[in-house]
Amino acid sequence: MPHIRHVVHTDTDALAAAAARTVAECLTERIDAAGQATLALTGGSVGIKTAAALAGSPVDWERVTIFFGDERFVPAGHPERNDGQLDEALLDSLGDRPTVHRWPARTAEDSDVDSAAARFLESLDIPGGDDPIFDVTILGMGPEGHIDSIFPHTPAVAETERMVVGVRECPKPPAERMTFTLPAVRRSRHVLVVAAGEGKAEAVARGLGGADPTEWPVAGAVGSESTTYHLDEGAASALN
């Protein structure tokens, strides 16, 4: 298993800037090697700040395909959707240069989250076998260690085969969501976990310590080439 490391920054601005630099370097390296690259973005305050810091990066965005790690199953334009926040932080500034895969929105005619998740998966060209889906995945993290919409002790964290699932009765509102699963996250070349604040300290320590992912989902978020936690001093406060 590739080495998991962490980097501590003075504040969230420095954290986001450093994470964005790493993301840009990894994307550019992959574009140089393969002609294209894939990136999974995340919501949350630090995830959005990291996306905003990417806006000025010298990446050949026309060669990048962008996904969102998860999405709230609410109508298009709803303020709780991740894609609207990420549009404002990054994507609006990129125009139509990257290819962006957006999760389905809830409508009166399409209100079943499982069907919407299955349809979204069918629309994707997922590589076969164990080949990487994402070159870079950015993950925020909750105080209980959730990533994307993968929460402890839920069907989503227990999923071992499907790359995408619908989420019902989510512990954090809104109750219905769609998410890539841990098997999909692990098919990332590089995983960056971005976390800030003392409230995240225990989850950070558990993730870096290799805890059971069913208890602390972030512990299951491991890239095939690298896994790096970008932390502020508060989030790193429980580390030895």
- Mind listing the pLDDT tens digit for each residue in 153-208? 999 999 999 999 999 999 999 999 999 999 999 999 999 999 999 999 999 999 99
Q: What residue spans define the domains of the chain? A: 4-232
pLDDT tens digit sequence for 85-140: 999 999 999 999 999 999 999 999 999 999 999 999 999 999 988 999 999 999 99
Domain 4-232 has CATH 3.40.50.1360: yes
pLDDT of residue 3: 80
Report the pLDDT averaged over residues 47-52: 98
Extract the tokens encoding 68: 């969102």
pLDDT tens digit sequence for 26-41: 999 999 999 999 999 9
